[in-house]
Amino acid sequence: MSQPTNALFSRIWADYLKPHSAVMAVAFTFMVIEGSTLAALSWMLKPLFDRVFVGGDTGAIWWVGGAIFSLFLIRAFTSVINRTLLARVSQAVAARMQTDLLGHIMRLDAQFFQTNPPGALLERIQGDTMAVQDIWRVFITGAGRDIVSLIALFAVALAIDPRWTAIALVGAPLLILPTLLVQRYIRRKMRDTRVRASDRATRIDEVLHGIQTVRLNRIEDYQQARFAAIVDKIRDSETRIAGIGAVVPALIDVVTGLGFVGVLWLGGAEVTAGERTVGDFMAFFTALSLAFQPLRRLGALAGSWQIAAASLERIYGIFDTRATVLSGARAEAPDSTEIRLDDVHLSYGDHPVLNGLSFTAEPGQTTALVGPSGAGKSTVFNLLTRMIDPRSGQVTLGGVDLRDYDLATLRDQFSVVSQEPALFDETLRDNITLGNPAEPEALARALRTAHVSDFAERLPHGLASRAGPRGSALSGGQRQRIAIARAVLRDAPILLLDEATSALDAASERLVQAALDDLSQDRTTLVIAHRLSTVRAADKIVVIEAGRVAEQGSHDQLMAKDGAYAALVRLQFGARE
């Protein structure tokens, strides 16, 4: 988790900042100009006092006044340019980082999503990138304007009197240790806070997605209390971070105060004794006063960097997570759609799910997978589409190991229709075409085959109606028919079908079933069967129990055997027939 700060910095520089180095160099130059105006300003006070006020040279008031006003004009001009350029850089960096993060996350495995809930990932993409977005502005402003201001102001101070300068700085070493301690504290606390911010996003995500369950079970108060507990902890940490973060600027106040008093004590005496001019003293004093704000800002900079670093660690933590399911090289489609599993073992974590599963699904035929819930049927689908890889054993498609195929080629071979199809809050048409261009005839055929036209025509905007968040504007049966239309349009040679169980009423079920029957015509079909009629019609039935094949054969063969299948038919399908 913990990466040294400079390692983080060089990575972010190489990955994101380098392309903007020209813009940043320009901004830096203007920062330097803006920064040096402060020193020039303090320097102008010497002639103002010595020539105008003390010397009585009223003519000088014009050029001194003019020079001072020009300095302010330069400051105004450079600061607008700086801010615009730096906003451009930080926005560009954040935008690209967010896009890259989502892009990277989408390509990670099932295993990753198992341990990283959607809310937590949302927080990383949005919250963490926001936390680092500002740091470039803060940094370049610090490095450019504030450091330059300080150097120039101290140059003025030194030019006026090195001894006074030494006295002004006498308290500075007092700052070193507290600064280091504060930085470590902030980094540690901030890591915690970012984790909690992820928990917060996860809670919001779960509550909102499960809003129906929350309300039906009347657990609003319970959820609110859980949320409050997380939010309160975040509030505590953030308050502490702000408090502790203010310590360094506060110490700078104290140290500067000490310097002021020292200079007043020594310099004041010298001016009254006539050894130094009032102008010397005023210019020195102003330089010191002007150094105060940049110094405070620089004091807070270390804390800001620690806050950003905590988020950068999390961002790079994701970028450094690699997919374990890797693409193979073979980009040609398989010669046949024969699917063969050979002694496949697979675990989720250390929970074994498939335990030596072997069977073959013949091309062009329908193979029904049946078995008790939790037997591993859906896992077979995840295996075939390489959402997850087996621990041992082999899965082949057309005689070639799945791992040898290019992932895109492999996934192009399958259409998956699941019980809970994911719909996006887009139009029905977009939900079906999924952003691919579709021939009007192909789309019309998909709509007909999937019986989508039946209900789409009755909607006020037809196919241009929106599906609602996660498809919530549609009924379960309608959602499934959209998913089937997708599959028809996709026209992949292999169909993986998880039959709907109970979500549908009889009329919808008949329509969905008719759509599925049309779809599976002439395709290699694997179906997780929940209906006796499907199993009966299947060319082969594979009974899976505890991750291995208990029996296989046709309905009649298996019934005659009177084994696991016959028992399952009585138990699982008995009531439905």
- Choice between 97 and 375, CB closer to ligand ADP: 375
From the list 348, 350, 330, 453, the residue with the least C-alpha distance to 402 is 330
- Choice between 121 and 190, CB closer to ligand ADP: 121
Least distance to ligand ADP from the beta carbon of 347, Å?
9
Least distance to ligand ADP from the beta carbon of 354, Å?
8
Tokens of 483: 């998913």
Binds ligand ADP by CB under 6 A, chosen from 6, 373, 436, 502: 373
**DSSP class of 429:** H
Least distance to ligand ADP from the beta carbon of 379, Å?
3
- Tell me the per-residue interface mask from 329 to 348 with ligand ADP, x by CB under 6 A, - otherwise: -------------------x
Stretch that binds ligand ADP, among 223-231, 369-377, 392-400, 432-440 (CB under 6 A): 369-377
Least distance to ligand ADP from the beta carbon of 551, Å?
15
Least distance to ligand ADP from the beta carbon of 77, Å?
59
Least distance to ligand ADP from the beta carbon of 111, Å?
8
Both ends of the chain: CA-CA distance in Å? 57
Residues 435-494 that bind ligand ADP (CB under 6 A): none
The answer to the question of residue 114 lying near ligand ADP (CB under 6 A) is: yes
Question: Where are the extended beta strands (E) located within 138-280?
Answer: none
Residues 346-365 that bind ligand ADP (CB under 6 A): 348, 351, 353
Say how far apart CA 244 and CA 247 lie, in whole Å.
Answer: 5
560, amino acid identity? A
- Choice between 135 and 496, CB closer to ligand ADP: 496
CB-CB contact of 186 with 246 (8 Å): no
Q: Return phi, psi of residue 167, to 5°.
A: -70, -40
**C-alpha 28, offset from chain centre:** 30
CB-CB contact of 340 with 396 (8 Å): yes
Question: Where are the extended beta strands (E) located within 267-379?
Answer: 339-348, 351-361, 366-370
Task: Count CA atoms within 13 Å of residue 231 on its CB side.
Answer: 9
Residues 278-337 that bind ligand ADP (CB under 6 A): none
3 state SS of 342 = strand
Stretch that binds ligand ADP, among 85-93, 135-143, 366-374, 405-413 (CB under 6 A): 366-374
- Choice between 17 and 496, CB closer to ligand ADP: 496
Contacts of 205 by beta carbon, 8 Å cutoff, 6+ apart: 117, 118, 119, 122
DSSP for 304-315?
HHHHHHHHHHHH
- Choice between 81 and 110, CB closer to ligand ADP: 110
Residues in a beta bridge with 416: 496
The answer to the question of residue 377 lying near ligand ADP (CB under 6 A) is: yes
Tokens of 48: 């103002």
- Choice between 321 and 418, CB closer to ligand ADP: 418
Number of residues that bind ligand ADP (CB under 6 A): 12
* CA-based torsion, 127, 133, 135, 141: positive or negative: negative
- Tell me the per-residue interface mask from 65 to 104 with ligand ADP, x by CB under 6 A, - otherwise: ----------------------------------------
Least distance to ligand ADP from the beta carbon of 569, Å?
17
Least distance to ligand ADP from the beta carbon of 107, Å?
18
Stretch that binds ligand ADP, among 121-129, 282-290, 373-381, 441-449 (CB under 6 A): 373-381
343, amino acid identity? D
Least distance to ligand ADP from the beta carbon of 505, Å?
23
Least distance to ligand ADP from the beta carbon of 80, Å?
54
DSSP for 239-277?
HHHHHHHTHHHHHHHHHHHHHHHHHHHHHHHHHHTTSS-
- Choice between 68 and 503, CB closer to ligand ADP: 503
Q: Return phi, psi of residue 416, to 5°.
A: -115, 125
- Choice between 310 and 497, CB closer to ligand ADP: 497
Least distance to ligand ADP from the beta carbon of 144, Å?
50
The answer to the question of residue 21 lying near ligand ADP (CB under 6 A) is: no
Stretch that binds ligand ADP, among 44-52, 67-75, 376-384, 447-455 (CB under 6 A): 376-384
- Choice between 380 and 519, CB closer to ligand ADP: 380
CB-CB contact of 371 with 344 (8 Å): no
Q: HEC string of 448-495? A: HHCCCHHHHCCCCCHHHCECCHHHCCCCHHHHHHHHHHHHHHHCCCEE
From the list 166, 161, 175, the residue with the least C-alpha distance to 270 is 161
Least distance to ligand ADP from the beta carbon of 324, Å?
14
Binds ligand ADP by CB under 6 A, chosen from 47, 245, 279, 376: 376
3 state SS of 162 = helix
Least distance to ligand ADP from the beta carbon of 570, Å?
19
DSSP for 496-548?
EEE---SSS-HHHHHHHHHHHHHHHTTSEEEEE--SHHHHHH-SEEEEEETTE
- Choice between 62 and 348, CB closer to ligand ADP: 348
Least distance to ligand ADP from the beta carbon of 380, Å?
7
Say how far apart CA 205 and CA 119 lie, in whole Å.
Answer: 5
- Tell me the per-residue interface mask from 138 to 177 with ligand ADP, x by CB under 6 A, - otherwise: ----------------------------------------
Residues that bind ligand ADP (CB under 6 A): 114, 348, 351, 353, 371, 373-379
